[in-house]
Structure 1
Amino acid sequence: MQFTWMNESRLSESENRLELYAPAHTDFFYSSESAGEEGITPESLCNAPYYYTELKGDFVFKVKVSHDFVSTYDAAVVMIMKDMTCWAKSCFEKTDFGTHAVVSVVTNGESDDANGCNIEGNTVWLQAVRMGNAFAFHYSLDGERYFMTRYFHLPVGDTVKVGLVAQSPQGEGGVRVFENLTIEQKTVKNIRAGK
Protein backbone atom coordinates (compact mmCIF):
# COMPACT_ATOMS: atom_id res chain seq x y z
CA MET A 1 0.00 0.00 0.00
CA GLN A 2 1.37 3.39 -1.04
CA PHE A 3 1.85 6.11 1.60
CA THR A 4 2.52 9.78 0.94
CA TRP A 5 3.15 12.97 2.94
CA MET A 6 1.28 16.05 3.98
CA ASN A 7 3.74 18.36 5.80
CA GLU A 8 6.70 16.06 5.14
CA SER A 9 9.13 15.33 7.97
CA ARG A 10 11.88 12.84 8.79
CA LEU A 11 10.96 9.17 8.61
CA SER A 12 12.96 6.13 9.67
CA GLU A 13 11.60 2.76 8.59
CA SER A 14 12.61 -0.76 9.60
CA GLU A 15 10.77 -4.06 9.74
CA ASN A 16 7.27 -3.41 11.17
CA ARG A 17 8.43 -0.08 12.67
CA LEU A 18 8.11 3.55 11.58
CA GLU A 19 9.65 6.50 13.41
CA LEU A 20 8.17 9.88 12.48
CA TYR A 21 9.72 13.10 13.71
CA ALA A 22 7.37 15.78 15.05
CA PRO A 23 8.86 19.25 14.53
CA ALA A 24 8.34 21.88 17.22
CA HIS A 25 4.91 23.53 17.50
CA THR A 26 3.06 21.20 15.12
CA ASP A 27 -0.55 20.04 15.34
CA PHE A 28 -3.88 19.58 13.59
CA PHE A 29 -6.52 21.62 15.41
CA TYR A 30 -9.10 24.25 14.45
CA SER A 31 -9.76 26.51 17.44
CA SER A 32 -13.32 27.30 18.50
CA GLU A 33 -12.00 30.39 20.32
CA SER A 34 -12.68 28.71 23.68
CA ALA A 35 -10.12 29.28 26.40
CA GLY A 36 -8.05 26.26 27.34
CA GLU A 37 -5.19 25.74 29.76
CA GLU A 38 -4.56 28.84 31.90
CA GLY A 39 -7.17 30.76 29.90
CA ILE A 40 -5.20 30.39 26.67
CA THR A 41 -7.14 29.84 23.45
CA PRO A 42 -5.68 26.84 21.57
CA GLU A 43 -3.95 27.88 18.37
CA SER A 44 -5.34 26.72 15.04
CA LEU A 45 -2.66 24.68 13.30
CA CYS A 46 -2.57 22.22 10.41
CA ASN A 47 1.19 21.77 10.11
CA ALA A 48 1.96 18.41 11.77
CA PRO A 49 3.55 15.68 9.63
CA TYR A 50 0.85 13.36 8.25
CA TYR A 51 2.00 10.12 6.60
CA TYR A 52 -1.07 8.62 4.98
CA THR A 53 -2.61 6.33 2.40
CA GLU A 54 -5.99 6.59 0.71
CA LEU A 55 -8.63 3.93 1.36
CA LYS A 56 -11.95 3.40 -0.39
CA GLY A 57 -14.82 1.94 1.59
CA ASP A 58 -14.84 0.29 4.99
CA PHE A 59 -11.66 -0.62 6.86
CA VAL A 60 -9.91 -1.46 10.13
CA PHE A 61 -6.62 0.41 10.70
CA LYS A 62 -4.55 -0.47 13.77
CA VAL A 63 -1.06 0.32 15.01
CA LYS A 64 1.01 0.19 18.20
CA VAL A 65 2.26 3.65 19.21
CA SER A 66 4.76 5.03 21.71
CA HIS A 67 6.79 8.14 22.51
CA ASP A 68 8.56 9.98 25.34
CA PHE A 69 5.76 12.32 26.56
CA VAL A 70 8.04 15.33 27.02
CA SER A 71 5.69 18.30 26.49
CA THR A 72 1.96 18.90 26.93
CA TYR A 73 -0.04 17.63 23.93
CA ASP A 74 2.89 15.65 22.50
CA ALA A 75 1.23 12.69 20.77
CA ALA A 76 1.46 9.78 18.38
CA VAL A 77 -1.70 9.91 16.30
CA VAL A 78 -3.95 7.97 13.91
CA MET A 79 -5.91 10.34 11.65
CA ILE A 80 -8.77 10.03 9.16
CA MET A 81 -9.21 12.95 6.74
CA LYS A 82 -11.56 14.05 3.99
CA ASP A 83 -9.99 17.51 3.69
CA MET A 84 -8.48 20.21 5.89
CA THR A 85 -11.80 21.05 7.56
CA CYS A 86 -13.21 17.50 7.87
CA TRP A 87 -11.10 15.00 9.80
CA ALA A 88 -10.72 13.08 13.05
CA LYS A 89 -7.75 11.88 15.07
CA SER A 90 -7.08 9.46 17.91
CA CYS A 91 -4.03 10.49 19.94
CA PHE A 92 -1.87 8.87 22.59
CA GLU A 93 -1.08 12.16 24.26
CA LYS A 94 0.53 13.87 27.21
CA THR A 95 -2.49 15.79 28.49
CA ASP A 96 -2.68 19.17 30.17
CA PHE A 97 -3.48 17.20 33.35
CA GLY A 98 -0.06 15.53 33.21
CA THR A 99 -1.41 12.09 32.28
CA HIS A 100 -0.81 9.78 29.33
CA ALA A 101 -4.24 9.39 27.73
CA VAL A 102 -6.06 8.30 24.61
CA VAL A 103 -7.55 11.57 23.36
CA SER A 104 -9.77 12.18 20.33
CA VAL A 105 -10.54 15.22 18.21
CA VAL A 106 -13.29 15.38 15.57
CA THR A 107 -13.25 18.34 13.20
CA ASN A 108 -16.13 19.33 10.95
CA GLY A 109 -15.41 23.00 10.44
CA GLU A 110 -14.23 23.38 14.05
CA SER A 111 -12.43 20.93 16.33
CA ASP A 112 -13.77 19.43 19.52
CA ASP A 113 -11.49 17.75 22.08
CA ALA A 114 -12.28 14.72 24.24
CA ASN A 115 -9.91 13.21 26.78
CA GLY A 116 -10.34 9.46 27.12
CA CYS A 117 -8.88 6.94 29.51
CA ASN A 118 -5.51 7.40 31.16
CA ILE A 119 -2.87 4.79 30.31
CA GLU A 120 0.01 3.66 32.51
CA GLY A 121 3.21 3.54 30.49
CA ASN A 122 4.34 4.90 27.14
CA THR A 123 2.79 2.38 24.73
CA VAL A 124 -0.74 1.62 23.52
CA TRP A 125 -2.50 0.25 20.43
CA LEU A 126 -4.80 2.60 18.50
CA GLN A 127 -7.49 1.44 16.09
CA ALA A 128 -9.72 3.31 13.62
CA VAL A 129 -12.75 1.62 12.04
CA ARG A 130 -14.98 2.82 9.21
CA MET A 131 -18.50 1.70 8.26
CA GLY A 132 -19.85 4.07 5.61
CA ASN A 133 -19.83 7.54 7.15
CA ALA A 134 -19.68 6.10 10.67
CA PHE A 135 -16.31 5.81 12.40
CA ALA A 136 -15.01 4.52 15.72
CA PHE A 137 -11.74 4.86 17.59
CA HIS A 138 -10.52 2.14 19.96
CA TYR A 139 -7.50 1.45 22.14
CA SER A 140 -5.88 -1.75 23.38
CA LEU A 141 -3.18 -2.57 25.90
CA ASP A 142 -2.26 -5.86 24.24
CA GLY A 143 -3.25 -5.55 20.57
CA GLU A 144 -5.98 -8.15 21.06
CA ARG A 145 -8.81 -6.73 23.17
CA TYR A 146 -9.99 -3.28 22.05
CA PHE A 147 -12.17 -0.73 23.86
CA MET A 148 -14.07 2.07 22.14
CA THR A 149 -13.10 5.65 22.93
CA ARG A 150 -15.18 7.48 20.32
CA TYR A 151 -18.05 6.83 17.89
CA PHE A 152 -18.90 9.57 15.38
CA HIS A 153 -20.00 10.45 11.86
CA LEU A 154 -18.21 12.51 9.22
CA PRO A 155 -19.65 13.58 5.84
CA VAL A 156 -16.98 11.92 3.70
CA GLY A 157 -16.98 10.40 0.23
CA ASP A 158 -15.99 6.88 -0.77
CA THR A 159 -12.26 7.56 -0.33
CA VAL A 160 -10.54 9.03 2.73
CA LYS A 161 -6.97 9.60 3.82
CA VAL A 162 -5.90 7.40 6.75
CA GLY A 163 -2.52 7.47 8.42
CA LEU A 164 -0.10 8.57 11.09
CA VAL A 165 0.58 12.00 12.61
CA ALA A 166 3.48 13.10 14.81
CA GLN A 167 2.56 16.21 16.80
CA SER A 168 4.15 18.54 19.35
CA PRO A 169 1.88 21.60 19.66
CA GLN A 170 3.63 23.23 22.64
CA GLY A 171 6.94 21.40 22.65
CA GLU A 172 10.19 21.28 20.75
CA GLY A 173 9.34 18.09 18.88
CA GLY A 174 10.55 14.53 19.01
CA VAL A 175 10.23 11.02 17.62
CA ARG A 176 6.91 9.16 17.55
CA VAL A 177 7.09 5.37 17.08
CA PHE A 178 4.51 3.32 15.15
CA GLU A 179 4.80 -0.48 15.04
CA ASN A 180 2.96 -3.47 13.57
CA LEU A 181 0.65 -1.38 11.39
CA THR A 182 -2.15 -3.37 9.75
CA ILE A 183 -4.93 -2.32 7.37
CA GLU A 184 -7.88 -4.57 6.63
CA GLN A 185 -10.38 -3.43 4.01
CA LYS A 186 -13.49 -5.08 5.43
CA THR A 187 -16.79 -4.27 7.11
CA VAL A 188 -16.88 -5.13 10.81
CA LYS A 189 -19.96 -6.73 12.39
CA ASN A 190 -19.97 -4.36 15.38
CA ILE A 191 -18.32 -0.96 14.96
CA ARG A 192 -18.51 -0.22 18.69
CA ALA A 193 -16.58 -3.40 19.45
CA GLY A 194 -14.30 -2.81 16.47
CA LYS A 195 -14.68 -6.34 15.09
Structure 2
Amino acid sequence: MTTPGPKVNYELAPGGVPTIFSVVTRNGRSDDAIGPVAGDVGMWLRISSLDGGYALHCSSDGRAWQLVRQFTLDFPAPVRVGLEAQSPIGKGCRAVFENVQLTNSRLEHLFDGR
Protein backbone atom coordinates (compact mmCIF):
# COMPACT_ATOMS: atom_id res chain seq x y z
CA MET A 1 0.00 0.00 0.00
CA THR A 2 1.28 3.46 -0.87
CA THR A 3 1.79 5.81 2.07
CA PRO A 4 -0.58 8.78 1.94
CA GLY A 5 1.00 12.16 1.75
CA PRO A 6 1.77 15.34 -0.09
CA LYS A 7 4.82 16.62 -1.87
CA VAL A 8 5.72 19.92 -3.41
CA ASN A 9 8.33 19.84 -6.16
CA TYR A 10 10.58 22.21 -8.05
CA GLU A 11 11.13 20.44 -11.37
CA LEU A 12 11.39 20.86 -15.10
CA ALA A 13 8.08 20.71 -16.92
CA PRO A 14 7.99 18.66 -20.14
CA GLY A 15 8.94 21.79 -22.14
CA GLY A 16 12.04 22.29 -19.97
CA VAL A 17 10.62 25.22 -17.95
CA PRO A 18 11.27 25.14 -14.17
CA THR A 19 7.83 24.80 -12.54
CA ILE A 20 6.30 24.08 -9.15
CA PHE A 21 4.28 20.85 -9.02
CA SER A 22 2.32 19.31 -6.16
CA VAL A 23 1.12 15.77 -5.55
CA VAL A 24 -1.28 14.41 -2.95
CA THR A 25 -1.47 10.61 -2.63
CA ARG A 26 -4.49 8.89 -1.08
CA ASN A 27 -5.38 5.18 -1.20
CA GLY A 28 -2.57 4.46 -3.65
CA ARG A 29 -3.72 7.12 -6.15
CA SER A 30 -1.87 10.34 -6.84
CA ASP A 31 -3.50 13.66 -7.67
CA ASP A 32 -0.90 15.82 -9.47
CA ALA A 33 -1.28 19.54 -10.07
CA ILE A 34 0.87 21.99 -12.02
CA GLY A 35 1.63 25.21 -10.17
CA PRO A 36 3.40 28.42 -11.11
CA VAL A 37 6.39 28.74 -13.38
CA ALA A 38 9.49 29.12 -11.22
CA GLY A 39 12.81 30.84 -11.66
CA ASP A 40 15.80 28.83 -12.77
CA VAL A 41 17.90 29.57 -9.68
CA GLY A 42 15.79 27.69 -7.12
CA MET A 43 12.73 28.21 -4.98
CA TRP A 44 11.68 28.14 -1.37
CA LEU A 45 9.09 25.41 -0.71
CA ARG A 46 6.99 24.86 2.39
CA ILE A 47 4.46 22.36 3.76
CA SER A 48 2.32 23.62 6.65
CA SER A 49 -0.16 21.77 8.84
CA LEU A 50 -3.23 23.79 9.81
CA ASP A 51 -6.30 22.59 11.74
CA GLY A 52 -6.30 19.08 10.27
CA GLY A 53 -5.43 20.31 6.80
CA TYR A 54 -2.26 21.12 4.94
CA ALA A 55 -1.03 23.95 2.77
CA LEU A 56 1.78 23.98 0.22
CA HIS A 57 3.47 27.30 -0.57
CA CYS A 58 6.33 28.47 -2.77
CA SER A 59 8.42 31.62 -2.76
CA SER A 60 11.17 33.04 -4.93
CA ASP A 61 12.72 34.99 -2.03
CA GLY A 62 11.63 33.26 1.22
CA ARG A 63 9.55 36.29 2.26
CA ALA A 64 6.57 36.57 -0.11
CA TRP A 65 4.70 33.25 -0.30
CA GLN A 66 2.20 31.98 -2.88
CA LEU A 67 -0.34 29.27 -2.06
CA VAL A 68 0.18 26.28 -4.36
CA ARG A 69 -2.42 23.97 -2.87
CA GLN A 70 -4.50 23.23 0.23
CA PHE A 71 -6.04 19.87 1.16
CA THR A 72 -6.89 17.47 3.98
CA LEU A 73 -5.49 14.02 4.65
CA ASP A 74 -6.81 11.48 7.10
CA PHE A 75 -3.88 9.52 8.42
CA PRO A 76 -2.59 8.86 11.92
CA ALA A 77 0.23 10.74 13.62
CA PRO A 78 3.15 11.00 13.68
CA VAL A 79 3.66 12.91 10.45
CA ARG A 80 7.06 12.39 8.82
CA VAL A 81 8.77 15.01 6.69
CA GLY A 82 11.71 14.53 4.33
CA LEU A 83 13.73 16.00 1.49
CA GLU A 84 14.57 14.30 -1.78
CA ALA A 85 16.31 15.00 -5.06
CA GLN A 86 15.79 12.74 -8.05
CA SER A 87 16.22 12.51 -11.79
CA PRO A 88 14.04 9.65 -13.04
CA ILE A 89 14.84 10.53 -16.66
CA GLY A 90 17.58 12.57 -18.26
CA LYS A 91 21.22 13.05 -17.37
CA GLY A 92 20.77 13.51 -13.64
CA CYS A 93 20.53 16.54 -11.42
CA ARG A 94 22.31 18.50 -8.76
CA ALA A 95 20.31 19.68 -5.77
CA VAL A 96 21.34 21.91 -2.90
CA PHE A 97 19.10 22.19 0.14
CA GLU A 98 19.78 25.35 2.16
CA ASN A 99 18.17 26.93 5.19
CA VAL A 100 16.10 23.83 6.03
CA GLN A 101 13.88 24.46 9.05
CA LEU A 102 11.25 22.58 11.02
CA THR A 103 9.25 25.01 13.12
CA ASN A 104 6.27 24.87 15.43
CA SER A 105 4.47 28.03 14.36
CA ARG A 106 1.06 28.89 13.00
CA LEU A 107 0.28 30.60 9.69
CA GLU A 108 -1.70 33.77 10.21
CA HIS A 109 -2.96 33.85 6.62
CA LEU A 110 -3.40 30.73 4.50
CA PHE A 111 -3.37 32.39 1.08
CA ASP A 112 -0.30 34.59 1.44
CA GLY A 113 1.52 32.14 3.70
CA ARG A 114 2.37 34.55 6.49
Bin the TM-score by the shorter chain.
0.7 to 0.9
Question: Which of the two has higher C-alpha Rg?
Answer: 1
Mapped partners of 1:157, 1:192: distance in 2: 26
Mapped partners of 1:103, 1:138: distance in 2: 11
Equivalent residue, structure 1, for 2:70: 151
TM-score by length of 2: 0.87
Mapped partners of 2:51, 2:95: distance in 1: 30
Q: Does the Cα contact within 8 Å between 1:134 and 1:151 map onto a contact in 2?
A: yes
**2:19 is the alignment partner of 1:107:** no
TM-score by length of 1: 0.53
Can you list the C-alpha shifts for 1:27-80, whole angstroms capped at 9, x where unaligned? xxxxxxxxxxxxxxxxxxxxxxxxxxxxxxxxxxxxxxxxxxxxxxxxxxxxxx
User: Using a 3 Å threshold, how does the CA distance of structure 1 residues 132 and 126 change in structure 2: closer, same or farther?
Assistant: same
- State the identity %: 34
Aligned residues: 113
Equivalent residue, structure 2, for 1:94: 12
- Give 5+ residue unaligned stretches, structure 1: 1-82
User: Using a 3 Å threshold, how does the CA distance of structure 1 residues 91 and 165 change in structure 2: closer, same or farther?
Assistant: same
**2:95 is the alignment partner of 1:182:** no
Find 2:46's aligned residue among 115, 127, 132: 127
Q: Amino acid of the residue matched to residue 130 of structure 1?
A: S
Mapped partners of 2:106, 2:59: distance in 1: 20
- Give 5+ residue unaligned stretches, structure 2: none
Q: Does the Cα contact within 8 Å between 1:102 and 1:115 map onto a contact in 2?
A: yes
Equivalent residue, structure 1, for 2:92: 173
Mapped partners of 2:39, 2:109: distance in 1: 28
Can you list the C-alpha shifts for 1:110-163, whole angstroms capped at 9, x where unaligned? 012111111232311111111142111111111111010111111122321112
Mapped partners of 2:42, 2:24: distance in 1: 23
SS at the partner of 2:80? strand
Can you list the C-alpha shifts for 1:70-94, whole angstroms capped at 9, x where unaligned? xxxxxxxxxxxxx833011000001
Q: Does the Cα contact within 8 Å between 1:93 and 1:100 map onto a contact in 2?
A: yes
Q: Does the Cα contact within 8 Å between 2:39 and 2:60 map onto a contact in 1?
A: no
Mapped partners of 2:92, 2:15: distance in 1: 19
Name the Cα RMSD after superposition.
1.7
Mapped partners of 1:97, 1:113: distance in 2: 17
SS at the partner of 1:96? coil
Bigger strand fraction: 1
Mapped partners of 1:93, 1:160: distance in 2: 24
